Amino acid sequence: MENRETLPLHTLQVNKAIVTMNRAYISVHSLLVLALLYYRASCLFFFLTSHSQPWTFTLAWFLLLTSELILSFIWLLGSAYRWQPVSRAAFPERLSDDHRLPEIDVFICTADPSKEPPLEVMNTVVSAMALDYPAEKLWVYLSDDGGADVTLYAMRQAFSFAKVWLPFCRKYGVRTRCPNAYFSMENKEYDGQIRSAEFLNEREKMKFMYETFTEQVERAVEMGLIGDDNLSKAAKADRAPLIEVIGEKELDIMEDHDKMPHLVYVRREKRPTHPHNFKAGALNVLLRVSSLLSNGSYVLVLDCDMYSNDPTSAKAAMCFHLDPTLSPSLAFVQFPQMFHNISPNDIYCGQLREFFKVWWYGCDGLNGPLLSGTGFYIKRAALYGTAPALDLPKDLIQLRQWFGHSNELLRTLPSDYKCNIVDNGLQSNGLLQQEAHLLASCNYEKGTKWGKQVGFLYDSLVEDYVTGFRLHCRGWNSVYYDPPRPQFLGSTPNNMNDFLVQNKRWSSGLLEVTFSRFCPLTYGIMSGHSILHTMCISYCAFMPLYSIFALCYATVPQLGLLNGISLYPKVSDPWFAVFAAIFISGSCQHLLEVLHTGGSFRMWWNELRIWMIKSVTANFFGCLDIAIKLIGVKQVDFGLTSKVTEEDQVDRYAKGIFDFQGSGLILVPVVTSSILNMAALIGGVWRVIVEGNYSELMVQLFLTLFITISSYPIIEGFAIRRDVGRVPPLITFFSLICTMVLLSLGFIVFTM
């Protein structure tokens, strides 16, 4: 038998058939796109030089060419994802003994107990404590940006519960170690290897203890420990730092077999006059504070709603990090984001299938995926701001310019530094506590490179994207690992408003990078990054600009149709075939890819529909946000996604009914486009019947019909439904006005 130390810790596979098919598709589709652009551009040139058409017609032609150029450009960038997809397997059981494993710090962020229920946050905390990893090498940190006493209280209770929960999970081999997920499992077959009477008995006891814990936390929440609104707002904006190692004394006297990871509560200082840089700011505080206490060589980052669903993730990640050939330049191992609350119909496409089943696989075949905010194990040293093989500055003055003036922090930077906090303890060591508070203070980062080069970067609301991108530019690589059992599970928005607000944040965050000096296309290439990987990264950055295409295609051809103006080739014209072929080739490729990645026909349709909705709303408003920011009027805001579940919303989501409750002006473009397309369809059909010029208007008629059909849930939302989840009447009213304006504009332009 082979020695387990000589067996590979991981393997990599290239699916040759998929690669060949993808490349063939890219080649054919590229030719078609080139033909289309040639047709548009040459016609436009002819109109401009011959003056054979009124200027308004030329303008419409120009708008369509621009939008097709944008679409083609983004499509081209995205094709890089399909060039070289790979998949990986890891074998954690082949890792050497536990005592040779490196220390890991887990960072969990929460920001507001009213939007992120403390009980859910604690479930994430407990699941992270229960990772299958040597307890003395695991430290779990919670950053509480809400500064809520109830969260601290809940954490102390969670620690007490973990004292019984962890030994139970270890003893019976329970894999689902998030207590809430474990006790709400519907299958009769309990997770846990031993199905003896003893196990069942213990399980009942554990269930009772979990219920007691739940009650304690919920009572604390109800009793108003969250505080009255003004108080909690003040606590969020203006407060001193507070750091507590939970149950520190108990840990020291614990027996070896029920050892627990350390658990640390961190509330950073906040002052209204200081920018706090949202999640990136919170993570950087955790990086500094943890360097004093545990200084784990690797960090696992989790959102507070993303619990660990399989305890093996830490060891699986180490299979890559500890591989001597990969390790020197490997910055992080990213797991996919997956969600526990996806309904079978998944109308908002919360699974993010393309991201996690296509794009990151594609990136992995090049230099690796980007950071995805949560569920990644990153090397601490990769966040120090240097290239993989480069040392930190030797000079103390320069080091202080990078990391700030804490000598204690600077002492932790060398790779051979060993932390001895376990001997000292935080609570009993006044000096250490003072230092930790200093590191969590607002002023600490002033004049340093934190957020600019060191730690998580502040250049954008999507701190994950920009940090991952800059790491790659510095020469670091990453690995994507998507094992059969989801390692982490989070919650995804279950209503239109949350979905759009989240996507708007992503759009504006991405565009913040696009329109900065770090624009991936230029900065990536200038820093010597490979073209294909740069294209992948740039795709995300340019993706929100899809909105320009979508807005044009949802209005211009329709207004033309209503006024009898043809903007596409006749059915009998050979160029018609190019348009038809592009539509068919794009749709078929999408459908095949959905089916290949485990999806269904319905998922294909849902993705198409949600893409159209998102493009004209969230992406469009993201563009507006950035335009406003660029002219210096307003700063972009984070807009936390709510994790509170309202029963009727869950119900509508489960039934696959769109829920527009609470959505504001962001809906206007999509409602307007639905009304306009409906009107254009009726007008267009009438025109075809009366005038009989069916061949010339065929493409526009088809496009309008297609958009109207896919807009059905919107049309139903404003015209038919009467429940609270319908489109708010005021939005319908605004949209009607917008439609009138567009119709009049179309009439003026096309009949001039």
Ligand X SMILES: O=c1ccn([C@@H]2O[C@H](COP(=O)(O)OP(=O)(O)O[C@H]3O[C@H](CO)[C@@H](O)[C@H](O)[C@H]3O)[C@@H](O)[C@H]2O)c(=O)[nH]1
Binding site for Mn ion (CB under 5 A): 303, 641
Q: Which helix (H) or strand (E) holds 129?
A: helix 118-129
Q: What is the smallest separation between the CB atom of 372 and ligand X, expressed in angstroms?
A: 7
* 103 contacts ligand X (rule: CB under 6 A): no
Per the CB < 8 A criterion, the answer to whether 551 and 620 are in contact is yes
Closer to ligand X at the Cβ: 354 or 463?
Answer: 463
Nearest distance, CB of residue 451 and ligand X, angstroms: 13
**Spatial CB neighbours of 9, under 8 Å, sequence gap ≥ 6:** 90, 91, 94, 95, 319, 320, 322, 323
Residues 6+ apart with CB under 8 A from 280: 451, 455, 456, 457, 458, 463, 467
**How far, in Å, CA of 369 to CA of 362, rounded?**
8
Binding-site member from 116, 364, 607, 659 for ligand X (CB under 6 A): 116
Amino acid letter, residue 258: D
Under rule CB under 6 A, residue 307 binds ligand X: no
- Closest-approach residue to ligand X (CB): 373
Which one of Mn ion, ligand X, none is in contact with 482 (Cβ closer than 5 to 8 A by kind)? none
Applying CB under 6 A, among 60, 80, 109, 511 the residue interacting with ligand X is 109
Rounded distance between C-alpha atoms, residue 617 and residue 550, angstroms: 10
The two tokens of residue 664 are 């504001």
Residue 338 or 698: the one with the smaller Cβ distance to ligand X is 338
Angle CA 418–424–427, to nearest 5: 125
Return the number of the residue (120 or 303) whose C-beta is nearest Mn ion.
Answer: 303
Say what angle helices 694-710 and 601-614 make with each other, to 10 degrees.
100
145 forms part of the interface with ligand X (CB under 6 A): yes
498 interacts with, out of Mn ion, ligand X, none, CB within 5 to 8 A per kind: none
Catalytic annotation, pick one of 105, 144, 145, 149: 145
Output the smallest distance, CB 39 to ligand X, in A.
40
> Which does residue 549 bind out of Mn ion, ligand X, none, counting CB within 5 to 8 angstroms by kind?
none
Give least dist CB 650 to ligand X, A.
17
Question: Across 468-535, where does the E strand assignment appear?
Answer: 477-480, 488-489
**Residue 85 interacts with which of Mn ion, ligand X, none, CB < 5 to 8 Å by class:** none
Here's the x/- map for ligand X, 630-649, by CB under 6 A: it reads as --------x-xx--------
Q: Which is nearer to Mn ion, 313 or 502 (CB)?
A: 502
> Least separation, in Å, of the C-beta of 310 and ligand X?
18
**Least gap, CB of 453 to ligand X (angstroms):** 19
- Answer yes or no: are the C-beta atoms of 481 and 377 closer than 8 Å: no
Residue 562 binding result from ligand X, Mn ion, none, given CB thresholds of 5 to 8 Å by partner type: none
Q: Which residues contact 577 (CB under 8 A, 6 or more apart)?
A: none
Distance between CA atoms of 35 and 553, rounded to whole angstroms?
A: 19
Residue at token pair 């609270």: 724
Select 145 or 269, whichever has its Cβ closest to ligand X. Answer: 145
The interface partner of residue 406, options being ligand X, Mn ion, none and the CB cut-off 5 to 8 Å by kind, is none
User: Is 451 among the residues that bind ligand X (CB under 6 A)?
Assistant: no
Q: Which is nearer to ligand X, 72 or 143 (CB)?
A: 143
Alpha helices in 51-106 (DSSP H): 55-79
Q: Which does 366 bind (CB under 5 to 8 A by kind): Mn ion, ligand X, none?
A: none
Main-chain phi, psi angles of 697, to 5 degrees:
-100, 10
Considering beta carbons, is residue 114 or 641 the nearer one to Mn ion? 641
Whichever of 145 and 435 has its CB closer to ligand X, that residue is 145
- The site partner of 502 among Mn ion, ligand X, none (C-beta below 5 to 8 Å per kind) is ligand X
Binding residues among 342-381 for ligand X as defined by CB under 6 A: 373-374
Q: Which of residues 243-282 bind ligand X (CB under 6 A)?
A: 278-279, 282
Q: Shortest gap between Cβ of 454 and ligand X (angstroms)?
A: 18
464 is catalytic: yes
Query: Residue 202 binds which entry of ligand X, Mn ion, none, with Cβ cut-offs from 5 to 8 Å by kind?
Result: none
Task: For residue 131, give Cα distances in angstroms to 104, 123, 632.
Answer: 11, 13, 46
Which of 304, 671, 676, 697 lies at the binding interface for ligand X (CB under 6 A)? 304
User: Per rule CB under 6 A, is residue 501 in the interface with ligand X?
Assistant: no
CA distances from 259 to 169, 172, 254, 418, 449 (A): 13, 16, 6, 21, 38
Comparing CB distances to Mn ion, the nearer of 450 and 499 is 499
Q: What is the x/- site pattern for ligand X, positions 457-486, by CB under 6 A? A: ----xxxx----------------------
| Tokens of residue 463, six digits | 């701190």
Tell me which of Mn ion, ligand X, none is bound by residue 291, counting a contact when its beta carbon lies within the kind-specific cut-off of 5 to 8 angstroms: none
Is 111 among the residues that bind ligand X (CB under 6 A)?
A: yes
DSSP string, 298-333: EEEEEETT-EES-TTHHHHHHHHHT-TTTGGGEEEE
**Closest distance of CB 623 from ligand X, Å:** 17
Query: How far is residue 15's CA from residue 490's CA, in Å, rounded to a whole number?
Result: 29
Q: Is 110 in the site for ligand X (CB under 6 A)?
A: yes
Residue number, 303 or 459, with CB nearest to Mn ion: 303
Of 464, 482, 498, 625, which residue is the catalytic one?
464
Smallest distance, ligand X to C-beta of residue 358, A: 18
Q: Least separation, in Å, of the C-beta of 383 and Mn ion? A: 22
Cβ atoms 520, 538 nearer than 8 A: yes
Yes or no: say if 622 and 507 are a contact pair by the CB < 8 Å rule: yes
Chain position carrying tokens 């504070």: 289
- For residues 503 to 532, the per-residue mask of contacts with ligand X, x marking binding by CB under 6 A and - elsewhere, is --xx--x-----------------------
Q: Which of 639, 642, 632, 643 is nearest to 666 (CA)?
A: 639
Angle at 626 between CA 621 and CA 629, to 5 degrees: 125
Residue among 365, 382, 367 nearest 478 (CA): 367
Q: Kindly report the CA angle at 146 between 141 and 152, in degrees rounded to 5?
A: 50
Alpha-carbon distance of 747 to 730, in angstroms, equals 26
Query: How many other β-carbons are positioned within 10 Å of the β-carbon of residue 729?
Result: 9
225's contact among Mn ion, ligand X, none, with CB below 5 to 8 A by partner kind, is none
Mark whether 145 is an active-site residue.
yes
CB of 360 to ligand X, least distance (A): 14
Q: Which of 303, 310, 435, 696 binds ligand X (CB under 6 A)?
A: 303
The residues annotated as belonging to the active site are 145, 464
| Residues found near ligand X in the complex (CB under 6 A) | 109-111, 116, 143, 145, 278-279, 282, 303-304, 373-374, 461-464, 502, 505-506, 509, 638, 640-641
